[in-house]
Structure 1
Amino acid sequence: MNEHDPNHINIASISQAIFTVNKHAKTASDPKFLYQLKKEALNKLLTERKAEKIGLQFSRNPGNSQQRSDLLVKCGDYFFHLPPKKEDFSSLPHLGELTDSYRNPKTRMGLREAKTILQSYTGLRGTPIKPAQKRSYQKPVFKRLGE
């Protein structure tokens, strides 16, 4: 049996993989795919009822707005934030400010292993990295003043 078979992955390893991907996405130079992987995995867990929506919390980084709420999702022993949908505002309680009293458990999982787990679970594939185009150097052309 393949250890990354989506039918045989337990919730603990998926939640650890989401935690690892989320942690690396915060410092990645191009975090778009990592955040997409996190979002797809959490949405799939929610539809399978293996994760639950807890409520809404004010965001620490509201961007351009004064205040923004994030959806708090519990998966295994971990809590994650997702952008809320319209129906979440009417169906879930608002929990107010984020508290520092709870921290997700530490985990030791490499990013490559975490991505492999989540990609096999969600079926999402990363975009291939394009090799850097080598630019040819072009000497500057200086013209005399007035030419």
Structure 2
Amino acid sequence: MDAPDFSLRLAEAVHTVNRHAKTAPDNRFLYNLKKAALEKMITEGLAEKKGLHFVQNPRFSRQQSAVLIRCGDYLFHLPASKDDFRSLPHLGEQNMEIRNPKGRIGLKAAKQLLSDYTGLKESNSGPTPPQQPKNRPGQASRAKEKGRNQTSSGHKPWFGPLS
């Protein structure tokens, strides 16, 4: 695969990963994969930093800027570093009418391509199961002391003997 085709395929993969990261319940790996791929593409000359944009929905209502990165017909944003503020022009607000082309690569293939490219691998530990709430010390014993007409939290049940 020659360089333009490879960079286009990488850009499509980053686009797919970024699109899925926006709605994924645990998106840390996807965003890390996007960042690693874009940074490597920049160092290899397959993508370039164009300037800074104001972030659309900044955290804590404080103005923030992001680096605009172009790779072929695709545009991406990454958080800006101090060096980016010194070396890149500020382009102002984002033009919300500009859209990336539709990608034709699935998430699984995109993750595989970017993982092979960056060397970043997803841990297979999976999500941790929810933990059961722990009783406070002495909570269960107090309920026993108060009698059967109360729940473990110490409250009377809704339906039970009237006494």
Q: Please, which moves more after superposition, 105-114 or 17-26?
A: 105-114
Residue 57 of structure 2 corresponds to 61
Normalised TM-score (structure 2):
0.76
User: Number of residues paired by the alignment?
Assistant: 140
Give the alignment partner of residue 51 of structure 1, picking from 44, 47, 50.
47
Return the offset for 1:77: 1.1
Normalised TM-score (structure 1):
0.84
How many percent of aligned residue pairs carry the same amino acid?
A: 49
Return the offset for 1:132: 5.5
- Of structures 1 and 2, the one with the larger relative CO (CA 8 A, separation 6+) is 1
What CA deviation, in whole Å up to 9, does each residue of 1:107-144 have, x standing for no partner?
A: 122110000000000011111134765978x9x94341
Inter-partner Cα distance in structure 1 for 2:99 and 2:111: 22
Who wins on radius of gyration, i.e. which is larger? 2
Give the alignment partner of residue 21 of structure 2, picking from 3, 10, 25.
25
- Unmatched runs of 5 consecutive residues or more in structure 1: none
Give the alignment partner of residue 82 of structure 1, picking from 78, 82, 87.
78
Regions of 4+ moved over 2 Å: 129-136, 140-143
Change (3 A) 1:53 1:131: closer
Inter-partner Cα distance in structure 2 for 1:10 and 1:131: 33
Inter-partner Cα distance in structure 1 for 2:128 and 2:79: 33
Return the offset for 1:75: 0.9
- Unmatched runs of 5 consecutive residues or more in structure 2: 148-153, 155-163
Inter-partner Cα distance in structure 2 for 1:24 and 1:103: 16
